[in-house]
Amino acid sequence: MLKRFGEYSLRISVLGAGAWGTALAIHLGKLHPTKLWARNSGHVYGMKKAQSNPLYLGDFKFPPLLEISDDFDATISDTDLIVCALPSSGFRQILKSINEINQTALVIWANKGLEQGSAKLPHEIALEELGDPTETNRHWGVVSGPSFAAELVRSLPTALTLASTSKETTTFAANIFHHDNLRVYTSQDVVGASVGGALKNVIAIASGISDGMGFGNNARAALITRGLAEISRFGFHLGANQETFSGLAGSGDLVLTCTGEYSRNREVGIQLAKGRPLEVILKNLGHVAEGVYTATEVMRRIDNIDIEMPITSEVNNVIQLGKSPKDAVLDLLGRSIKTES
């Protein structure tokens, strides 16, 4: 049973000291004792010395309640809330490790992508590794929505959706995140929030390709709109609520990632449009662009399902098959007339 704030001092652990993990840790550490964990001891040493994360987030200073650590066991052993902000590639293993050490803490993830090889979404991995909440009484969820780390730590207004497996858990977790410049809306559609967060990265690559080729505002708006239709179809097949895709975790996150200057996935698309090799783009980016791998996993997932996702398909063709961005756009434009749905 979850306790109220006043009953004890809430302890929070954030796993992953990239830009977003650090931003969340700074935000949560304003009010609660918070530990930020990173694997690399050199990175941890640098953050402790600077009391900031210059590698990923400039010189935004850590609040007094934020502690930095590279000791995984010590970070999560006595915590009440674990926030996972690691790339999707390491999500399953980190859940296994959590379950070995702490079987009671609430787990909220902030990563957005599909597992490479299995094409599973975060909530499906959580079900396998943490168990069914209806049987274990251990709840978990996702925080998602239109958010750039650099704006959150600059105290600019930000709004997110927090979805979890029970109403009580959702309210409890939302109250932890909801303060200062961050407004939180609640949901129990973990599936929809996971789908929206993952697939928007693929559409952002398409948007970047369009922008990089100078196709203008009309083309970008069309890609975003039709991209949202693809995301909704995919989510509906998995049991998501359609209303989620018109909210922050759906259209909100999609619009920001397709248009924002900090969007890594959009930047990948822009560079692809300029003819740069993908491996060079990813090396120079310095951050993970989840959409690159998500496109392939989505196509794997729908291989035997009757779901039409032409934008996702063409992004995958560019990334995996080396198709030219120009040919991909022309093939999209050359498709036969369809009824809008």
Catalytic residues, by residue number, are 200
Distance CA 57, CA 149 (A): 8
Contacts of 323 (CB under 8 A, 6+ apart): 314, 317
- Three-state SS sequence of the chain: CCCCHHHCCCCEEEECCCHHHHHHHHHHCCCCCEEEECCCHHHHHHHHHHCCCHHHHCCCCCCCCEEEECCHHHHHCCCCEEEECCCHHHHHHHHHHHHHHCCCCEEEECCCCCCCCCCCCHHHHHHHHHCCHHHHCCCEEEEECCCCHHHHHCCCCEEEEEEECCHHHHHHHHHHHCECCEEEEEECCHHHHHHHHHHHHHHHHHHHHHHHCCCHHHHHHHHHHHHHHHHHHHHHHCCCCHHHHHCHHHHHHHHHHHHCCCCHHHHHHHHHHCCCCHHHHHHHHCCCCCHHHHHHHHHHHCCCCCCCCHHHHHHHHHHHHCCCHHHHHHHHHCCCCCCCC
CA 30 to chain centre: 22
Residues 6+ apart with CB under 8 A from 70: 37, 38, 39, 40, 41, 43, 44
Question: What is the residue type of 92?
Answer: R
Backbone torsions φ then ψ of 254, nearest 5 degrees = -60, -50
